[in-house]
Structure formats: structure tokens, C-alpha cells
Amino acid sequence: MSTWVNIKRILRTGFFSFSRNAFVSLSSIVVMVITLSTIGSLIFLSAILNNTLTEVRGKVDINVYFITAAPEDDILAVQKRLETLPEVASATYTSREQALQEFRERHENDQVTLQALEELGDNPLDASLNIKAKSPSQYEGIAAFLQESPLLSRDGVSIVDKVDYFQNKEAIERLTRIIDSAERLGSMITVVLVAVSVLITFNTIRLAIFISREEIAVMRLVGASSSYVRGPFVVVGLLYGAVAGILAILLFYPVTYWLGGVTENFFVGMNVFDYYTKNFGQIFAILIGSGAAIGALSSWLAVRKYLKI
């Protein structure tokens, strides 16, 4: 007999038992929807985490304030030198006039402060360089460079008023550590959750197959080969996974829509609904694929117990 006839029969038997055992199918699918929702939530969570980390990293920086008497050429020389460092992503110069302008804009509703500024007559603000590193761990090196560089003094007198790194140092280091452990913890939680949900699914399918043990016994007695007995169960497991995958991805539509606004406010500019719609194809493939794989593998393993001769 041709393999094709065999495959056809296995598929047919699989589809039949899927539809005839509606209740067993339903409960298995519900469990798998939960499993796949866990996996889906982890996709969203890691996207949110990554986005937040990128945003927060972008906000870490060093500001070097120069004394008011520092000549602009000297500051620009420092900027040029900094930009040649491999650790530095950008070094932005803010002149005293710009600083004053920004200060005025920031306090445009605060008459008292503006009045005080007027009374000073002179511009009290320092020119500054805003330095961004490529990674948070590199700020230490940049700060050290700033301390030792001969460009930062003129005639033996330092032209630097203050470097706020030394004030932020503690905070920056702590943030770096938090980011690192968040990433490590995230991947650990992912592994554990996926393992737990796979086990639950496996157990559910095992129960579903336990109901069919009589059928398996009869199949074996009439001389069905192991793969012929196993085939339909693997097909059913595959169907469970695929249907559960479709249900899970549909479920994420209203959930992410509802959470979209909330997350945007809470996690610096990350809207999960946008993420869902932009990455729909990828999420769809991951959920259906892992659902089908978990279902088929669970069935394959669960039937094995009944195939021992």
C-alpha cells in the first residue's frame, strides 16, 4: 500500500476524532490558548522591556559645565576631541546664549525668576557639553578622560565649572545594574513560564489520550503499526495547537487595544497595540508555530506510553 493512502487515512482519522470528541478538544484547546497567551505575553513584555531600556539608556548622559569665562574655541576643541572617542555617541554643545534662551522658555510663566534674572543684568549661565555614550557602562571612562584631559585647563586654571557625572555616578551605576539584572531575570522567567505551560499542555493531551486507550489497544490488536496508531493523535495535537494559536492571537487584539494607551503613558512611548499591528505576521507565526509544535510533540510523547509491546 502506498504511503499516500496511509497519510490520507491518518489525516482523516485525526480530523474525525478532533470533531467527534468535541468536549475533549475544547478543553485541550482552552489550556493551549492559556499556554500560548503566556508565550504571547512574554513577547510583548520583552518588547516593552527592551523599548524601556533603550529609552532609559538614551536619557543617561554627562553634562560638563564650563566656567563663564571659558572661551568658546576651547570648548569646541573639547567637543571635537570627545567626538573622536569610540565610546562617545554624541557630544552636543550648548552656548551660554542658548542656555539662557532655554532657561527663559522653561520659566516663561514664572515672573519672579525672570525678574531676578533681569536684575542680574549679566548672563549667569554656563556653556555646557552634553555627552552621550554608546553604552551606560562607558560613562566611567569618559568621565576619567574629562578629568585628565589637558584641554580642560587654560594657564593652569580649570575651565570646567562642574561635571554632573560625579553627582549622577551612583544613579548611573545603579541603573546599569538594574538593566542587566532585568534582562537576565526576564530571560529566566521566560524559560520557566514556557516550560510550565508546555508541561500543562502535555498533561492535558495525555488525559485526552488516556480516554482513547481502549481504541489504541484495539488498534494494536488488529495489527496497526506504531506510526499508524500514533499518526492521528499527532494530527489532533497539531490541530489543537493551530486552533489555540489562532484564538490566542485574536484574543490579543482587544487586550492590546485596551492596554495600548495605558502602556504608552507608563512605558515611555511604547504602545503595545502599535507593536501588535506592526508585528502581526511575526507574532501570528510564532504562536501558531509553537502551538502546533507543542501539540504535536505532546501527543507524540503521550501515545508512546500505550505503544509499548
Partner 1 sequence: MIYYDKVSKIYPDNSVALENVTFTIEPKEFVSIVGHSGAGKTTLLKLLLAEDRPTEGKVFFGSVDIHSLRPNEVPHYRRKIGVVFQDFRLLPDKNVYENIAFSMEAAGRSDEEVESDVPHVLELVDLTSKIWSFPNELSGGEKQRVAIARAIVNQPNIVIADEPTGNLDPVNTYDIVQILKKINDLGTTVILATHNKGVIDSLERRVITLEHGKIVRDDKEGRYII
Closer residue to partner 1, CB minimum distance, 20 or 69: 20
Give me the residue label for grid cell 498533561.
203
The conformation of residue 135, written as its DSSP 8-state character, comes to S
- CB of 21 vs partner 1, minimal distance in Å: 8
Closer residue to partner 1, CB minimum distance, 3 or 84: 3
- CB of 299 vs partner 1, minimal distance in Å: 18
- CB of 13 vs partner 1, minimal distance in Å: 8
Closer residue to partner 1, CB minimum distance, 2 or 115: 2
With b meaning 16 or more CB within 10 Å and e meaning fewer, what string describes 234-249?
bbbbbbbbbbbbbbbb
At residue 1, the 3 state secondary structure works out as coil
Q: What is the total residue count of the chain?
A: 309
- CB of 210 vs partner 1, minimal distance in Å: 16
Q: What one-letter code names the amino acid at 306?
A: Y
Closer residue to partner 1, CB minimum distance, 20 or 121: 20
Residues binding partner 1 (CB under 8 A): 1, 5-6, 9, 17, 20-21, 214-215, 217-226, 228, 309
- CB of 219 vs partner 1, minimal distance in Å: 6
Closer residue to partner 1, CB minimum distance, 86 or 223: 223
- CB of 222 vs partner 1, minimal distance in Å: 4
Phi, psi for residue 41 in degrees, rounded to 5: -60, -35
What's the half-sphere exposure (Cβ side, CA atoms, 13 Å) at 51?
Answer: 17
CB distance 139 to 133 below 8 Å: yes
With b meaning 16 or more CB within 10 Å and e meaning fewer, what string describes 29-66?
bebbbebbbbbbebbbeebbbebbbeeebeebbbbbbb
CB distance 230 to 67 below 8 Å: no
Candidates 287, 260, 272; CA nearest to 44 is 272
Closer residue to partner 1, CB minimum distance, 144 or 217: 217
Closer residue to partner 1, CB minimum distance, 8 or 174: 8
- CB of 248 vs partner 1, minimal distance in Å: 29
